[in-house]
């Protein structure tokens, strides 16, 4: 088979399309009679119903709101903390070891503690999400600031930059790629943790609760629809972050002129 | 239009601490650079010539002796003293224009004057049309031109050049030497060039300071009394070149003598003093 049978932009869809076809065939030709195997059409129908009744939007809205709130808190705290660790050797010496120990603790190990402190509601979930976003942002911000080229800092000295100018003109732009990578990771981690939080702190509304509901009632179509929505949201968040990153860091292009 | 900028270096010594032991880098340097003069400093690696520039620009302190610009002791960096490093050190996230404008961030100019000065200096280094290019779009030679513009844009009294063309290919280097000469004449500013290229030193310099290593000392100051533009192939040029190179041969002989002295056991130099010999010889040939 020649590679250009499928147009280039559509090549990524080949495998999902084949899987859906296989799924459809499994139901159509009765390869399995398990009640766990629902027809693609049924999942589609559930999706249409959920969208039409607005239930999915209510659930998604609740999840996304928590996701973004937790991300905003965790990422801002991470930026400040990472910048402090990166800029001050003293801070690194005092706080660094504690931080590096804490970050080794699995994120999910925090759940019991958080639920004791904040209950099982939104506050505990948001706290959990901010923790998920916090660590990658701190680590990348710290690395980015630590690896500002000393050569450029010397230029800043020669040109008599004030401390504010040094941060604005040298340190932050130079650390920007690493900081963006951290924020990007934080955004993804926060979304993964959003679902985790809904499973582990079961109460209230959310896309995860929708899926738990589906599982408890043996509505496989609902579970599969939930999986699809969660994937779509993750994909969209990632896409938005990549676009912002690409635009902000356009200067990292390839050489186009050689003289 | 020569401006002020008499640089007076008086009995300057500098040492670094290596494993707790003081390692002398510069020893008793005395040198006067007149306003508008072009001084080349040559020497083999390890003679402290870059350290000397870093002291003049104010990136290093903790020295003995005096570095005086217009009678004022040099403390820290100042917009009166610009420097071009061997690497261009441009900010990769800024365009050519923005990189040059960095030099004016703290200059006492109005915005209009700044814009004007940036434009003039981009023209001075021959990069009109590349104002909005990013460093990764430029060749090594072009990047070094931007670095020169950035150093000159706030009109310093003294421009220091630390092997600025050392990493460029021979053709680009020859071309940029001509350009630097033109800029020096156009701006009338004092320039001090550190190089290991004897021909470059003579082509550009009013005088050539020959340094010798371990610790860095001035061996001789060779005046270059040739009219500009200088012809690298002319006999008087070749004579000065021979004269300067002879100093390096002398340095090599001195190193040999010192090594013999070491063998006899009455030398005080470190065990690695002999390593200057192959460097110096390769250099002289």
> Which pLDDT band holds residue A3 (cuts at 50, 70, 90)?
low
* Predicted pLDDT at A127: 93
Contacts of A151 in chain B (CB under 8 A): 85, 87, 89
**In terms of residue numbers, what domain contains B23?**
7-80+159-234
Chain B CB within 8 Å of residue A152 CB: yes
| Token pair listed for B191 | 């320039």
* Predicted pLDDT at B212: 85
- Torsion sign (Cα): B245, B246, B250, B252: positive
Residue A259 predicted with pLDDT over 50? no
Task: For residues B51 and B172, state if they share a domain.
Answer: yes
Contact: A259, B94; criterion CB under 8 Å:
no
Task: For residues B28 and B65, state if they share a domain.
Answer: yes
Contacts of A257 in chain B (CB under 8 A): 133, 137-139
Task: For residues B225 and B112, state if they share a domain.
Answer: no
Residue A255, in any domain of the structure: no
**In terms of residue numbers, what domain contains A208?**
54-248
Contact: B77, A258; criterion CB under 8 Å:
no
Q: Average of pLDDT values for A108-117?
A: 87
Q: Write down the mean pLDDT value for chain A.
A: 87
Contact: A173, B93; criterion CB under 8 Å:
yes
| Token pair listed for A190 | 């926060």
- Residues in chain B predicted with pLDDT less than 50, given as ranges, are 1-2, 266-285
Helices A55-87 and A122-146 cross at an angle (nearest 10°) of 40
> Which pLDDT band holds residue A27 (cuts at 50, 70, 90)?
confident
| Cα separation, B38 vs B166, whole angstroms | 18
Task: For residues B44 and B178, state if they share a domain.
Answer: yes
> Which of B155, B176, B211 is the C-terminal boundary of a domain?
B155
Question: For chain B, what is the radius of gyration of the CA atoms?
Answer: 20
B260 vs A132: which has the higher pLDDT: A132
Say if residues B176 and B141 touch (Cβ distance below 8 Å): yes
* Predicted pLDDT at B263: 59
- Residue A253 has its nearest CB partner, among B87, B105, B136, at B136
Say if residues B213 and B43 touch (Cβ distance below 8 Å): yes
* Predicted pLDDT at B1: 38
* Predicted pLDDT at B77: 87
Residue-wise pLDDT tens digits, A14-25: 998 999 899 888
Chain B CB within 8 Å of residue A212 CB: no
Residue A36, in any domain of the structure: no
| Cα separation, B192 vs B205, whole angstroms | 9
Residue A27, in any domain of the structure: no
* Predicted pLDDT at B269: 44
Task: For residues B65 and B163, state if they share a domain.
Answer: yes
Contact: B91, A173; criterion CB under 8 Å:
yes
Chain B CB within 8 Å of residue A5 CB: no
Task: For residues B12 and B51, state if they share a domain.
Answer: yes
Residue A46 predicted with pLDDT over 80? yes
* Predicted pLDDT at B261: 64
Residue A20, in any domain of the structure: no
* Predicted pLDDT at B283: 41
Residue A244, in any domain of the structure: yes
Say if residues A221 and A45 touch (Cβ distance below 8 Å): yes
* Predicted pLDDT at B28: 87
Query: Which residue of B91, B94, B132, B151 to mutate against A (max A Cβ within 10 Å)?
Result: B91
Say if the ipTM goes beyond 0.85: no
Task: For residues B106 and B223, state if they share a domain.
Answer: no
Determine phi and psi for B220, rounding to 5 degrees: -160, 155
Tell me the pTM. 0.78
Contacts made by residues A165-168, CB under 8 angstroms, sequence distance 24+? A165/B105, A165/B106
Contacts of B50 in chain A (CB under 8 A): none
Distance from CA of B262 to the nearest CA of A (A): 39
Task: For residues B16 and B146, state if they share a domain.
Answer: no
Residue A75 predicted with pLDDT over 90? yes
CATH number at residue A157: 1.10.3720.10
Residue B189, in any domain of the structure: yes
Q: Average of pLDDT values for A160-184?
A: 92
> Which pLDDT band holds residue A164 (cuts at 50, 70, 90)?
very high
- Residue A158 has its nearest CB partner, among B59, B93, B138, at B59
CATH number at residue B43: 3.40.50.300
The total of structural domains in chain A comes to: 1
Residue A21, in any domain of the structure: no
* Predicted pLDDT at B140: 87
Contacts of B94 in chain A (CB under 8 A): 173, 251
* Predicted pLDDT at B259: 64
Residue-wise pLDDT tens digits, A29-44: 888 778 778 888 888 9
Residue B226, in any domain of the structure: yes
Contacts of B141 in chain A (CB under 8 A): 259
B262 vs A167: which has the higher pLDDT: A167
> Which of B106, B139, B155 is the C-terminal boundary of a domain?
B155
Helix (H) or strand (E) holding A158: helix A150-158
| Token pair listed for B220 | 């001789």
> Which of B197, B219, B234 is the C-terminal boundary of a domain?
B234
Task: For residues B179 and B230, state if they share a domain.
Answer: yes
* Predicted pLDDT at A253: 54
Residue A83 predicted with pLDDT over 80? yes
* Predicted pLDDT at A55: 86
Residue A68 predicted with pLDDT over 90? yes
- Residue A253 has its nearest CB partner, among B89, B134, B141, at B134
Residue A7, in any domain of the structure: no
| Cα separation, A112 vs A105, whole angstroms | 13
Residue B62, in any domain of the structure: yes
Contacts of A169 in chain B (CB under 8 A): 91, 102, 105
Q: Classify burial at B261, counting beta carbons within 10 Å of its beta carbon; exposed 0-12, middle 13-18, buried 19 or more.
A: middle
Please report the number of interchain residue pairs, chain A to chain B, with beta-carbon separation below 8 angstroms: 68
Q: How far is CA A82 from CA A26, A134, A168, A248, B219, in A?
A: 51, 9, 16, 20, 51
Contact: A253, B137; criterion CB under 8 Å:
yes
Contacts of B53 in chain A (CB under 8 A): none
* Predicted pLDDT at B279: 42
Task: For residues B228 and B134, state if they share a domain.
Answer: no
The total of structural domains in chain B comes to: 2
Task: For residues B76 and B170, state if they share a domain.
Answer: yes
Residue tagged 């239930």 (tokens): A55
């Amino acid at each position: 088979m020649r590679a250009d049978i499928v147009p280039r932009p559509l090549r990524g869809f080949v495998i999902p399309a084949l899987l859906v076809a296989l799924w459809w065939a499994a139901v159509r030709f009765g390869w399995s009679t398990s009640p766990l195997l629902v027809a693609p059409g049924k999942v589609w129908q559930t999706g249409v119903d959920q969208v039409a009744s607005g239930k999915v939007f209510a659930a998604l809205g609740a999840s996304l709101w928590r996701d973004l709130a937790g991300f905003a808190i965790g990422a801002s705290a991470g930026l400040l903390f990472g910048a402090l660790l990166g800029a001050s050797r003293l801070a690194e010496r005092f706080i660094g070891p504690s931080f590096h120990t804490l970050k080794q603790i699995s994120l999910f190990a925090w759940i019991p503690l958080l639920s004791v402190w904040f209950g099982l509601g939104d506050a505990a979930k948001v706290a959990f999400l901010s923790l998920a976003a916090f660590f990658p942002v701190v680590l990348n911000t710290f690395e980015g600031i630590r690896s500002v080229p000393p050569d450029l800092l010397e230029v800043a000295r020669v040109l008599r930059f004030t401390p504010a100018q040094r941060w604005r003109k040298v340190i932050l732009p130079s650390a920007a790629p690493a900081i963006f990578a951290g924020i990007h990771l934080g955004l993804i981690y926060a979304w993964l943790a959003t679902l985790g939080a809904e499973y582990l702190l079961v109460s209230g509304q959310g896309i995860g609760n929708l899926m738990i509901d589906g599982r408890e009632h043996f509505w496989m179509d609902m579970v599969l629809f939930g999986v699809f929505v969660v994937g779509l949201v993750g994909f969209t968040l990632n896409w938005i972050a990549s676009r912002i990153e690409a635009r902000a860091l356009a200067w990292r292009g390839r050489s186009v002129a050689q003289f | 239009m020569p401006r002020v900028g008499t640089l007076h270096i008086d009995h300057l010594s500098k040492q670094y601490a290596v494993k707790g032991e003081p390692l002398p880098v510069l020893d008793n340097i005395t040198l006067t650079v007149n306003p508008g003069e072009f001084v080349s400093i040559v020497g083999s690696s390890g003679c402290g010539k870059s350290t000397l520039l870093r002291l003049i620009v104010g990136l290093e302190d903790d020295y003995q002796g005096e570095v005086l610009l217009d009678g004022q002791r040099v403390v820290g960096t100042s917009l009166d003293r610009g420097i071009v490093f061997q690497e261009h050190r441009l900010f990769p996230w800024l365009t050519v224009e923005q990189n040059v404008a960095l030099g004016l961030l703290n200059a006492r100019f109005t915005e209009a004057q700044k814009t004007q000065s940036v434009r003039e200096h981009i023209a001075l280094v021959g990069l009109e049309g590349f104002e909005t290019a990013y460093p990764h779009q430029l060749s090594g030679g072009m990047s070094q031109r931007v670095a020169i513009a950035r150093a000159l844009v706030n009109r310093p009294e003294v421009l220091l050049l630390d092997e600025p063309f050392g990493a460029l290919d021979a053709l680009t280097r020859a071309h940029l030497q001509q350009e630097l000469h033109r800029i020096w004449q156009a701006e009338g500013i004092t320039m001090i060039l550190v190089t290991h290229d004897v021909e470059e030193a003579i082509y550009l310099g009013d005088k050539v300071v020959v340094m010798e290593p371990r610790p860095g000392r001035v061996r001789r100051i060779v005046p270059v009394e040739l009219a500009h533009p200088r012809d690298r192939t002319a006999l008087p040029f070749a004579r000065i070149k021979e004269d300067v190179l002879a100093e390096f041969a002398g340095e090599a002989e001195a190193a040999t003598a010192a090594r013999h002295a070491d063998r006899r056991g009455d030398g005080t130099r470190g065990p690695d003093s002999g390593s200057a010999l192959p460097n110096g010889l390769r250099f002289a040939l």
